[in-house]
Amino acid sequence: MRVSTSGPSSPIDPALTRRAVVATGTAAAGLATAGLGLLPPADAAGAAETAGAAGSAAERAGSRVFQHGVASGDPLPDRVVLWTRVTPSAAALPGSGVGPEVRVTWEVATDRAFRRIVRRGKVATSAARDHTVKIDVDGLSPATWYYYRFHAVGATSRVGRTRTAPREDAALRSLRIGFTSCANWQSGYFAVYRGLAARDDLELIVHLGDYFYEYGPGEYGYGPTNEDIRPHVPAKEVLLLADYRQRHAQYKTDPDLADLHAKYPWIITWDDHEVADNQWSGGAANHDPATEGSWERRRARAHRAYDEWMPVRMNGTAALGDGDRLYRRFRFGRLAEISMLDLRSYRSEQVSFPGTDAPSEVDDPTRTITGAAQMAWLKRSLSATEVQWKVIGNPVMIAPVEFGTLPPEIGSAISGATGVLPAEGLPYNTDQWDGYTADRRTVFSHLASNKIDDVVFITGDIHSGWAANLPSDPSPLSQDVPSLAVEFVGASVTSNNLKDYTGSPPRTTSLVVEAAIKAANPHIEYLDFDSHGFCILDITPARTQCDWYVIGDRRDPATPITWSVSYLTKAGSNTLTQADAPVKAGS
């Protein structure tokens, strides 16, 4: 059933709104003065205490009705998607399928106090869409910070902040974003989101997939023992529509994630765990049709819940529907364009055991990671002449990686951390672009033949930090070949990495593995298999710089966050250079 929560955006006359507030305030003051006279100091103190109690009551009501926070996303020059979820009664829990239809009022203002409301509207939500609300608010001004909130069931949500994209012809001096991926609730606390939310110098957040994990308690937790720091809800692997709704809801209750959603607009894509591990167009490694039913039905349930619970436009619209197209692009003046890929919905099945003595299945030109339509779309993004920097939101790593022969115990640990490398240490990372070399050759050939500069891939998935040049000839035998573009790979929020699987102290065993991989792959400039964290991407006409920040122990919600390393690529160079310092926060 198609249910739309998109109501008409209503322009509000700011002067009229102010007049109404002033008139109401004046009338109230007149009644108080006429009936009671001026309050003595003691009574004034009592009145202030009463007002504070009322405010606390209002906050409690807002927390009860809007338990899952607020969020915004997919910013365009004149519009942005706003999201929340209403809990209208104690029984109307996520995934319950019960609860009344609710009318929700939303407001957008240019100030946090909502004295200058510029858009307002009403929408209905119900159990049919899990009481979620998603509105594509139009009629906004470019490059403008806005504040928004929701009212329902006598309560008001927390205030969110969002920002529209600049005009497409705007000449920008800079664009600064934060990006990350791979947040596993069971593996620890989301200090990464705390670190990003603490910054005041960003314009948006890019999330590159694995926003949540589908596993049940005990299946994928902290370190080699899989300890659950925080058990998943529901207490099983998610399979039904109600399960996916509950899992989305659980993640939205994390305070650091809620703060980051409320502070910045997000641009998001999915990877595999939003449905099931190592998914492809016709199935997944973590799906058994014999016991778990139709793959198509399971994926449809997961995509439905994702559409309900995330501030994204599916198939180009915020209205809830049956569509599942998530690849899309966002323009930031003439400086940059961000193209977000979906590398799960259209890909061929992964090669599980590639050959080494003859041409492998990974080179089969009939196999694809993007699908034909998305590949054509990606090539158009890369060819854009209206913008300088082409930033590709890339869920899985595109840089070629020859792992070589590693000891079995290390190969097994890397396989656990990345989910893709055979334990025997064979050379292909088949879940990533390394397993779909024909598509990668198509992309690299397009860059080379069209002499396209200033392409930056930002990537998640692999639970480790990398900086790599993208060589024009990815053959392991090729040396000193030109670089066509660069790739920055961010570490995970919490999902296990190499040290977590081996149980070894940080920067011990991993140093040996990293050195071996870099020796076999001279285009890789930086590799950190041990850290969790986030990246800051700072784009200017002169260069694009990526700063890696890492956290301490995932068990500790207050764990420290420190800068690790920075790399940049100068305009027109298509190569990496190590930077001496991170970009200055607030600059």
* Residue 35 confidence class, pLDDT cut points 50, 70, 90: very low
Domain C-terminal end among 142, 163, 184: 163
Domain C-terminal end among 163, 193, 219: 163
The reply to whether 406 falls in a domain is: yes
Task: Report in angstroms the alpha-carbon separations of 507 from 443, 497, 501, 528.
Answer: 35, 12, 13, 9
- Which helix or strand (DSSP H or E) is residue 44 part of? helix 41-65
Question: Can you tell me which residue has the tokens 């790599």?
Answer: 468
The reply to whether 29 falls in a domain is: no
Residue 2 has pLDDT above 50, yes or no: no
Are 130 and 211 in the same domain?
A: no
Are 433 and 545 in the same domain?
A: yes
The reply to whether 50 falls in a domain is: no
Instruction: Tell me the average pLDDT across 426-446.
Output: 87
Sign, Cα dihedral of 187, 213, 163, 331: positive
The first and second tokens of residue 373, run together, are 């339509």
Alpha-carbon span 534 to 531, nearest angstrom: 10
In the prediction, which pLDDT does 413 show? 61
Are 401 and 298 in the same domain?
A: yes
Are 144 and 240 in the same domain?
A: no
Alpha-carbon span 183 to 221, nearest angstrom: 11
In the chain, the amino acid numbered 504 is S
Tally DSSP H helices, then E strands, for the chain.
12, 25
Q: Where does 10-131 show beta strands of DSSP type E?
A: 10-11, 70-76, 79-85, 102-109, 117-125
Euclidean distance between the first and the last CA atom of the chain, given in angstroms as a whole number: 48
In the prediction, which pLDDT does 324 show? 84
Are 319 and 451 in the same domain?
A: yes
In the prediction, which pLDDT does 43 show? 40
Mean pLDDT (the chain, rounded): 88
Yes or no: say if 321 and 66 are a contact pair by the CB < 8 Å rule.
no
Residue 343 has pLDDT above 90, yes or no: yes
The first and second tokens of residue 100, run together, are 């009344």
Residue 40 has pLDDT above 70, yes or no: no
The reply to whether 169 falls in a domain is: no
* C-alpha dihedral, 292 to 372 to 368 to 374, nearest 10°: -70
Q: Render pLDDT for 260-292 as a digit per residue (tens, 0 to 9).
A: 999 999 999 999 999 999 999 999 999 999 999
Domain C-terminal end among 163, 187, 209: 163
Alpha-carbon span 287 to 272, nearest angstrom: 12
The reply to whether 468 falls in a domain is: yes
Query: Which of 198, 211, 331 lies closest to 256 in space, CA to CA?
Result: 198
In the prediction, which pLDDT does 427 show? 43
The reply to whether 41 falls in a domain is: no
Residue 49 has pLDDT above 80, yes or no: no
Residue 34 has pLDDT above 60, yes or no: no
Alpha-carbon span 338 to 343, nearest angstrom: 16
Other C-beta atoms lying within 10 Å of the C-beta of residue 505: 10
Alpha-carbon span 538 to 176, nearest angstrom: 4
The reply to whether 464 falls in a domain is: yes
Q: Render pLDDT for 490-530 as a digit per residue (tens, 0 to 9).
A: 999 999 999 998 899 989 989 998 998 999 899 999 999 99
Residue 415 has pLDDT above 90, yes or no: no
* Residue 139 confidence class, pLDDT cut points 50, 70, 90: very high
The first and second tokens of residue 467, run together, are 């900086």
Question: Which CATH number belongs to the domain containing residue 115 in this structure?
Answer: 2.60.40.380
Are 261 and 148 in the same domain?
A: no
Least confident of 40-54, 82-96, 438-452: 40-54
* Residue 477 confidence class, pLDDT cut points 50, 70, 90: low
Query: Which of 341, 303, 340, 342 lies closest to 320 in space, CA to CA?
Result: 303
Query: Which of 151, 68, 85 lies closest to 117 in space, CA to CA?
Result: 151
In the prediction, which pLDDT does 41 show? 35
In the prediction, which pLDDT does 286 show? 96
Least confident of 26-40, 182-196, 392-406: 26-40
Residue 83 has pLDDT above 90, yes or no: yes
Alpha-carbon span 332 to 354, nearest angstrom: 41
The verdict on pTM exceeding 0.85 is: yes
Are 182 and 159 in the same domain?
A: no
The first and second tokens of residue 573, run together, are 């160079």
Residue of 319 and 544 predicted with greater confidence:
544
Task: Report in angstroms the alpha-carbon separations of 248 from 51, 85, 186, 217, 252.
Answer: 36, 11, 14, 16, 6
DSSP 235-255: SS---SHHHHHHHHHHHHT-H
Residue of 271 and 8 predicted with greater confidence:
271
Alpha-carbon span 216 to 237, nearest angstrom: 4
Rounded to a whole number of angstroms, the CA Rg of the chain reads 25
Question: Which CATH number belongs to the domain containing residue 504 in this structure?
Answer: 3.60.21.70
Residue of 98 and 519 predicted with greater confidence:
98
Question: Can you tell me which residue has the tokens 């003859």?
Answer: 358
Question: Can you tell me which residue has the tokens 């995970």?
Answer: 492
Query: Which of 474, 423, 441, 431 lies closest to 364 in space, CA to CA?
Result: 441
In the prediction, which pLDDT does 375 show? 98
- Which helix or strand (DSSP H or E) is residue 372 part of? helix 372-382
Yes or no: say if 329 and 390 are a contact pair by the CB < 8 Å rule.
no
Are 355 and 414 in the same domain?
A: yes
Yes or no: say if 133 and 85 are a contact pair by the CB < 8 Å rule.
yes
Residue 330 has pLDDT above 60, yes or no: yes
Question: Can you tell me which residue has the tokens 């159990």?
Answer: 127
Question: Can you tell me which residue has the tokens 């599980």?
Answer: 352
Residue of 21 and 175 predicted with greater confidence:
175
Are 255 and 381 in the same domain?
A: yes
In the chain, the amino acid numbered 530 is D
Question: Can you tell me which residue has the tokens 């899990």?
Answer: 130
Give the DSSP letter of residue 317. Answer: B
The first and second tokens of residue 367, run together, are 């196999």
433 contact partners, CB below 8 Å, separation of at least 6: 369, 396, 397, 398, 399, 400, 439, 440
In the prediction, which pLDDT does 408 show? 57
Are 477 and 509 in the same domain?
A: yes
Are 541 and 430 in the same domain?
A: yes
The reply to whether 183 falls in a domain is: yes
In the prediction, which pLDDT does 12 show? 36
Task: Tell me the residue range of the domain where 468 lies.
Answer: 175-578
Considering its fold, how many domains does the chain have in total? 2
The first and second tokens of residue 423, run together, are 């334990």
Alpha-carbon span 37 to 275, nearest angstrom: 64
Are 196 and 126 in the same domain?
A: no
Query: Which of 274, 317, 387, 255 lies closest to 79 in space, CA to CA?
Result: 317
Q: Render pLDDT for 553-581 as a digit per residue (tens, 0 to 9).
A: 999 999 999 999 999 999 999 999 999 99
Query: In whole angstroms, what separates CA 251 from the centre of its chain?
Result: 13
Other C-beta atoms lying within 10 Å of the C-beta of residue 32: 13
Residue 447 has pLDDT above 90, yes or no: yes
